[in-house]
């Protein structure tokens, strides 16, 4: 009887993964034949892996957030594309994402999702109570990482397309659009709007609560500006510090900042 229960529990746990594989395989087939490519061929495979992991760990709720980021982020990248290409500041491959872009943007979120899965499995085994507080903080980190990345993407792409005046964040000296570490009013506003949109979606699907929206937006603002400081100071000094590596650090800072803000707030309320 015990073996039978374990078998059916396994099947029940596996169902989300079967759905994830079927759904992402279907989307991969569509992406392969679509005339406009948002991902390179290698990027499509890595996007498939990412999609399976996120749906398997967090269900449709987590998947909705990553898909929103991907679609909106890809759309923002194409704003003012001709102008940015003429100025030599457009994204390479006409904005099509490769594996490095996929994981630079989503590795932090994936680690948070895997953490949620691991804690949930441990709780389900009965070896420990389900740590709801830890899970909620990881879900907040997941949402905050994508808030941060969309904030960064929106700020950069809108700033390059419409920034009337751009300044180096460390000195506030005027610099050309597209300069690493440059900021603009237009880009900053776009970044804040982007983070708010993802935070609202994360709340709407039940990943975070209302206070989580505030923590996500604040964390995204902090992380996006730190990313600009990194770009203005040390990125050019280290060959390994590519845009994708900086993106990972950017999302990691955003996730950690949101978690620290939430933990501090909870401690204050207690």
Reported as a single tens digit per residue, the pLDDT across 168-204 is 998 889 888 878 888 999 999 999 999 999 999 999 9
**What pLDDT is recorded for position 39?**
85
**Rounded distance between C-alpha atoms, residue 41 and residue 183, angstroms:** 33
Residue 136, phi-psi category: left (phi > 0), alpha (psi -120 to 50), beta (remainder):
alpha
Neighbouring residues of 145: CB distance < 8 A, sequence distance ≥ 6: 106, 108, 109, 112, 251, 252, 254, 255
Report the distance separating Cα 56 and Cα 53, nearest Å: 5
Q: How far apart are the first and last CA of the chain?
A: 44
Q: How many CB atoms lie within 10 A of CB 181?
A: 21
Whether residue 16 is predicted with pLDDT greater than 60 in this model: the reply is yes
pLDDT at 257 over 70: yes
Q: What is the pLDDT of residues 205-251, one digit of tens each?
A: 999 999 999 999 999 999 999 999 998 899 888 888 898 999 999 99
Quickly state the pLDDT bin for 3 (edges 50, 70, 90): very low
Give the per-residue pLDDT at 1: 39
Is 80's pLDDT higher than 70?
Answer: yes
* Confidence check: pLDDT of 260 > 80: yes
pLDDT of residue 10: 47
Q: How confident is the model at residue 85 (pLDDT cuts 50, 70, 90)?
A: low
Q: How confident is the model at residue 8 (pLDDT cuts 50, 70, 90)?
A: very low
pTM confidence score: 0.89
Q: Please tell me the number of Cα atoms within 13 Å of 268 on its side-chain side.
A: 6
Cα 97 to chain centroid distance, Å, stands at 14
CA dist 81 and 83 (Å) reads: 5
What pLDDT score was predicted for residue 92? 63
């Amino acid at each position: 009887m015990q073996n039978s229960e374990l078998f059916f529990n396994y099947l029940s746990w596996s169902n989300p993964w079967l759905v994830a594989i079927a759904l992402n395989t279907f989307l991969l087939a569509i992406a392969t034949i679509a005339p406009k490519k948002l991902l390179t061929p290698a990027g499509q495979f890595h996007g498939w892996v990412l999609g399976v992991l996120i749906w398997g760990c967090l269900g449709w709720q987590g998947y909705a957030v990553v898909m929103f980021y991907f679609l909106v982020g890809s759309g923002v990248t194409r704003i003012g594309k001709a102008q940015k290409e003429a100025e030599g500041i457009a994204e390479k491959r006409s904005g099509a994402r490769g594996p490095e872009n996929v994981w630079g943007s989503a590795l932090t979120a994936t680690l948070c999702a895997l953490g949620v899965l691991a804690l949930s499995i441990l709780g389900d085994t009965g070896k420990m109570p389900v740590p709801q507080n830890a899970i909620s903080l990881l879900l907040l980190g997941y949402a905050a990482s994508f808030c941060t990345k969309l904030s960064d993407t929106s700020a950069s792409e809108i700033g390059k397309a419409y920034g009337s005046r751009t300044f180096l964040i460390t000195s506030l000296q005027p610099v050309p659009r597209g300069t690493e570490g440059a900021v603009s009013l237009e880009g900053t506003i776009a970044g804040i709007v982007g983070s708010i949109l993802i935070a609202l979606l994360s709340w709407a699907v039940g990943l975070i609560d209302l206070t989580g929206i505030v923590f996500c937006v604040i964390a995204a603002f902090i992380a996006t500006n730190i990313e600009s400081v990194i770009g203005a100071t040390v990125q050019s000094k280290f060959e390994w510090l590519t845009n994708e590596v900086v993106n990972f650090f950017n999302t990691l800072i955003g996730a950690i900042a949101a978690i620290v803000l939430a933990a501090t707030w909870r401690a204050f309320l207690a």
